[in-house]
Amino acid sequence: MDGLWQCSDLVGLIQLLVRNRDLLDGMETGSARLGGLAMKALHALRRNTREGSRRNIAAHYDLGNAFFGLFLSPDLMYSSACWEGAEDTLEAASTRKLDLICRKLALGPDDHVLEIGTGWGGFALHAARHYGCRVTTTTISREQHDLAAQRIAEAGLGGRITLLQSDYRDLTGQYDKLVSIEMIERSAPISRTATSARSAACSSPTAWPWCRRSPSRTTATSRR
């Protein structure tokens, strides 16, 4: 961003660095090695316990909705878009990703979907508006919750979308489908704490890293 270096093939550079990560780490000595150990220790203090998760989320997502609006698409999806070509816009690619998830989940008016990780409400709004399903969605970010609530009210979808501000480990109830978009890697194992039904992971190599669904009715249970 400061223009201190240039690269004609950024993807190739990142691939090269990843392939040689162990070698590069081994080259760090002195203060760099001590700094790495300090970062690992700091990371260990940020475990995703209930209180830890709230602190971690607040430190990132509660920076302000105006800030994230500077670089996200209008639907405020904070996850990988699904691109089909160089002429695509971010908005079109993001909407395509949402539709892909809804179709893979085979959503319909009779479905009640549980979404873990509301974001700013993009998926819940898209699913309820275009597929007619009911969505219960939860976030522990105050900023995300407030804006998602506003967007749901403005869309007139309060009857189909239930917005919670609760840790997913405290959820209860029965649901037909479960979706979590780019949340699995940040959470304690959802299969052990949020559901008692088997969930099959479904992924697309083109865009969306994580979506989990259950072919049968899902029961969310709280384990304290």
Q: Is residue 186 domain-resident?
A: yes
Task: Answer yes or no: do 31 and 97 share one domain.
Answer: no
Task: Answer yes or no: do 113 and 172 share one domain.
Answer: yes
Residue 149 pLDDT: 97
The residues pairing with 163 across neighbouring beta strands, listed in sequence order, are: 137
Backbone angles phi, psi at 10, to 5 degrees: -65, -40
Q: Which of 108, 126, 80 is nearest to 177 (CA)?
A: 108
Residue 39 pLDDT: 61
Residue 192 pLDDT: 45
Task: Answer yes or no: do 32 and 131 share one domain.
Answer: no
Range of the domain at 118: 90-220
Task: Answer yes or no: do 101 and 201 share one domain.
Answer: yes
Q: Left (φ > 0), alpha (ψ -120 to 50) or beta: where does 119 sit?
A: left
Q: Measured at the alpha carbon of residue 50, what is the angle toward residues 149 and 203, in degrees to the nearest 5? A: 70
Task: Say if CB 83 and CB 93 are below 8 A apart.
Answer: yes
- pTM for the full predicted model: 0.68
Q: Is residue 79 domain-resident?
A: no
Residue 176 pLDDT: 92
Q: Is residue 85 domain-resident?
A: no
Residue 43 pLDDT: 56
Task: Answer yes or no: do 36 and 108 share one domain.
Answer: no
d(CA 193, CA 203): 21
Backbone angles phi, psi at 101, to 5 degrees: -65, -45
Task: Answer yes or no: do 29 and 118 share one domain.
Answer: no
Q: Is residue 61 domain-resident?
A: no
Residue 37 pLDDT: 61
Task: Answer yes or no: do 97 and 208 share one domain.
Answer: yes
Residue 38 pLDDT: 63
Burial of 167 (0-12, 13-18, 19+ CB in 10 A): buried
- Give 50's contacts (C-beta < 8 A, 6+ positions apart): 167, 169, 170
Output the domain CATH number for residue 211.
Answer: 3.40.50.150
Task: Answer yes or no: do 141 and 204 share one domain.
Answer: yes
- Residue-by-residue pLDDT tens, the chain, 224 positions: 577 888 889 889 889 988 888 887 777 776 666 666 666 666 555 666 667 667 777 777 777 888 888 888 888 888 888 999 889 999 999 999 999 999 999 999 999 999 999 999 999 999 999 999 999 999 988 999 999 999 999 999 999 999 999 988 888 888 999 998 877 655 555 544 444 333 333 333 322 333 443 334 544 444 44
Task: Answer yes or no: do 41 and 101 share one domain.
Answer: no
The number of distinct structural domains making up the chain is 2
Q: Is residue 216 domain-resident?
A: yes
Task: Answer yes or no: do 40 and 123 share one domain.
Answer: no
Q: Is residue 74 domain-resident?
A: no
End-to-end CA separation in angstroms for the chain: 44
Task: Answer yes or no: do 100 and 155 share one domain.
Answer: yes
* Alpha helix ranges (H) inside the chain: 10-19, 21-27, 30-44, 50-61, 65-69, 90-104, 122-131, 142-155, 190-193
Residue 72 pLDDT: 87
Residue 51 pLDDT: 72
Task: Answer yes or no: do 198 and 127 share one domain.
Answer: yes
Q: Is residue 62 domain-resident?
A: no
